[in-house]
Chains A and B, each alone.
Chain A
């Protein structure tokens, strides 16, 4: 991942910064300039909570080269309490256990490396929440 592009993504990837449309109140993640729901142009920055619920999930067996060491791994569509949605890996559990309704916290993890000499790319992954946490 070329450095300038990675650097632009830092607010979204590190701090889960998205945007809320002032007109229709819906949340978009990552932020953008036009609301996809109502085409409003007034969006204000906001942050997603560091937790969410799995909407749907799969287990990737045939992985791209960058992720081959981690395969098989679970990937899930996670929705945060604010209504933001993101597609993240879910780790620290058996991949097959990840299913709709599972509550996860969003933990800061290393997502990929650009080979041996490139930069390290960070982001968030889901970690199942234990009952009562």
Chain B
């Protein structure tokens, strides 16, 4: 297995992009990625997308999207793992290059959520249809139960969760691609309407359209495309029980812990060496659970990490400098790749006002459903 590097990246704005269709979103991000690397062909495309079928009635998007680039003929596959689709597409692309099979592969993600579908119902299809959704649970409802369990077991408060949203909005305000560029206060969060108790509107990532793409080549050829490649040091993935009922402890995300330790082992690092991370904050509680499961808070209570500034820009280990899913937006299939792009920019010193000084090692964590799948990547300056 050879070392792989990210050499180019491109993404659209995230938000309610009424004028752009699924294919146009993809084309914009993919063309920007190709241009940023000066690349003009692909050996393969892996595109993460949760639900083009349900959102816009379109399956079989692999060949459709590669055709949008004028590249029909290139092998193209859609990857689906609910909200972890993008991260799993990245992993598949990495494997194709690492194995020696291909030289230049694109990992992309795209989701078009605002074309009139019943979004609550579509997102709920990431949960267990027969056991959970049938009875009326929603996606926020599952995380609400996780939050309740976490609060009962660890004393996490609604204020702790609110601080995660506040921190991520502060970061998002500095991100030109973010869906929300305004800061919010703890009072704003605690006063927003209830979605599923205890989660309120401002604890929940939004409904977004968007696309993101990165280019992967063997490290030995990275210099042909950029003088600042970012190496993929490790990739780890794991699954856990689909239904919350089938997990021993609703407050623990086993898949996150396992995927992280697998990635760390491959990368040969300890979490303490990570300088900056993008973590799956689909709901405020998720960032708390995931940073804890990944060991990113150095033994400090993960529930307090946002409030204390530990995971804020300027803190010990900034998490979600992009604004996270909450402020940057969460076009489901695109998120995992957008996370990689944030780390790409951080490790190249191109993150502008969001720059973490001297960032050498970064990580992304992308999660599907209520934690049934998780994929972690570790990156280093090339």
Contacts and interface: CB of A to CB of B under 8 A. Distances in A.
Interface of A: 1, 9, 12-13, 28-30, 36, 55-67, 70, 72-73, 75, 77, 85-89, 96, 100, 111-112, 121, 123, 125
B120 A62 contact: yes
Interface residues of B, number: 33
A61 B198 CA distance: 10
A67 B148 contact: no
Contacts of B246: 28, 36, 85
Contacts of A28: 246
Contact of A111 (B132, B136, B193): B136
Contact of A30 (B130, B144, B147, B194): B130
B243 interface: yes
A60 B135 contact: no
Contact of B244 (A29, A67, A73, A77): A77
B300 interface: no
A59 B246 CA distance: 20
Contacts of B134: 1, 9, 13, 111-112, 121, 123
A20 to B, nearest CB: 15
Interface in B112-170: 118, 120-121, 124, 130-132, 134-138, 140-141, 144-145, 147-149, 152
A59 B135 contact: no
Contacts of B136: 60, 63-64, 66-67, 70, 73, 75, 89, 111-112
B121 A87 contact: no
A64 B196 contact: no
B241 interface: yes
A77 B145 contact: yes
Contacts of B244: 77, 87
A12 B135 CA distance: 13
Contacts of A12: 130
A89 B195 CA distance: 16
A61 B196 contact: yes
Interface centre among A13, A36, A85, A125 (most CB of B within 10 A): A85
Given A77-B244, A85-B245, A87-B244, A62 B135 contact: no
Contacts of B141: 58, 60, 75
Contacts of A60: 136-138, 140-141, 144, 196
B353 interface: no
